[in-house]
Amino acid sequence: MNAGAAVRAGEATGPIMSASLMCADLLRLGEEIASLRAAAVDSLHVDVMDGHFVPNLGLGTDTLTAVRRAGDGPVDVHLMVADPLRWIQAMGPLADRMAVHAESTATLFRCVDAMAAAGVRPGVALNPATPLAALEEVVERLHYVILMTVEPGYSGQRLIPEMADKVARARELVDRRNPGCSIWVDGNIGPDEVRGLWRQGARGFVLGSTGLFRGDGRYAERLAGLRAVAR
């Protein structure tokens, strides 16, 4: 059994629904987290953006520390930064899963190994136009892969339709090289997208304003609906 299959042993085979906190009401973040946990969200997704790798600023170390203080449950960190090693060292102890962008570093092995050394389940994220070949050399060390279905940096974009085929091809790659590795998708994920991308092989879904956050707090209802269409 390879490393990825080992860390996945015993995990649920159903969809993993991860709530993107950049789309939450940040003025009420503690209440939002409590509501999401009560609604049985599978994990909280923390987008870290430095204004260099992507043209936006996102959540940082202090916010991640506060998220951890807000209660138990898995926390995923998505590093969209130009110097990922520095952020891995700072945030690794606070995360359960962490993904770095293949495009952000010339030393991807070093980043993956640093995440594993920090006790984090390591992942790699790819921008929409980045070929799957960027995963070839490291895929056997990964717990998950995040395929961006929009250009990273801002919420509310339309899903790029070519990404459905990319999910299917990524599934073929990991099935050959690391069957325990999960394929996640991030960007404009609603019920129709969950239904279609689940069939293509996606198992993790990062949910933002399209699928979860509508300002009315109906998280349990929406999560149940999304899980239903995945099955």
pLDDT digit string (tens) for 60-100? Answer: 899 999 999 988 899 999 999 999 999 999 999 999 999 99
- How confident is the model at residue 2, as a pLDDT? 35
Place of tokens 């102890």: 93
Distance, CA of 61 to CA of 184 (rounded, Å): 23
Return the DSSP state at 125.
Answer: E
Cα 209-207-90 angle, rounded to 5 deg: 110
Distance, CA of 171 to CA of 185 (rounded, Å): 12
The CATH number of 3-230, from 3.40.50.620, 3.40.720.10, 3.40.640.10, 3.20.20.70, is: 3.20.20.70
Place of tokens 């085979």: 13
Q: What is the pLDDT along the chain (231 residues), one digit of tens a residue?
A: 233 333 333 345 789 999 999 999 999 999 999 999 999 999 999 999 988 898 888 888 999 999 999 888 999 999 999 999 999 999 999 999 999 999 999 999 999 999 999 999 999 999 999 999 999 999 999 999 999 999 987 676 789 999 999 999 999 999 999 999 999 999 999 999 999 999 999 999 999 999 999 889 899 999 999 999 997
Distance, CA of 115 to CA of 125 (rounded, Å): 14
What amino acid occupies position 56?
N
What amino acid occupies position 177?
R
Residue 101 backbone dihedrals phi, psi, to 5 degrees = -80, 130
Token reading at 144: 């998950």
Cα 92-55-28 angle, rounded to 5 deg: 60
Residue 97 backbone dihedrals phi, psi, to 5 degrees = -120, 155
Token reading at 165: 């085929």
- How confident is the model at residue 137, as a pLDDT? 97
Place of tokens 């170390």: 61
User: Residues with catalytic annotation?
Assistant: 47, 186
Q: State the pTM of this model.
A: 0.92
Place of tokens 């110097």: 83
Distance, CA of 225 to CA of 148 (rounded, Å): 22
| Ranges assigned E (strand) in 102-151 | 121-126, 144-148
pLDDT digits (tens, 9 = 90+) for 129-151: 999 999 999 999 999 999 999 99
Report the length, in residues, of the chain: 231
**Residue in 172, 203, 171, 143 with CA at minimum distance from that of residue 15:** 203
8 A C-beta contact, residue 194 and residue 15: yes
Mapping DSSP to helix (H, G, I), strand (E, B) and coil, where does residue 169 land? helix
Distance, CA of 169 to CA of 14 (rounded, Å): 20
